Amino acid sequence: MATDIMTDTDELPDLQALAKRLFDLEIKAGLADDMLDQLNQTIFRQQRQIELLGKELFELRRQGQDGPGTPRNLRDELPPHY
């Protein structure tokens, strides 16, 4: 029956190990939360960029369908090195 009796000193290593595991899990949860926030911000920026590119594409298609407008004179356009 003497083996069934636990003293406070017997429980101390178990409590320390449990506290360390809990601390490690809290750190991992915090890091995962930070990573999730960063991913959400990245997705938000990418979605905004996709929307802007879609608008630009729509405008370019519209301009292409409208035709060139007024005929161009190539003599009026100088090459980039002039």
Query: Alpha helices of 1-82 — where are they, by DSSP H?
Result: 8-66
Give backbone dihedrals phi and psi of 75, rounded to 5 degrees, phi first.
Answer: -70, -25
Residue 33, pLDDT > 80, answer yes
Residue-level pLDDT at 62: 92
**Measured between alpha carbons, how far apart are the two ends of the chain, in Å?**
102
- Condensed to tens digits (0 to 9), the pLDDT of residues 41-80 reads 999 999 999 999 999 999 999 988 877 666 667 777 777 7
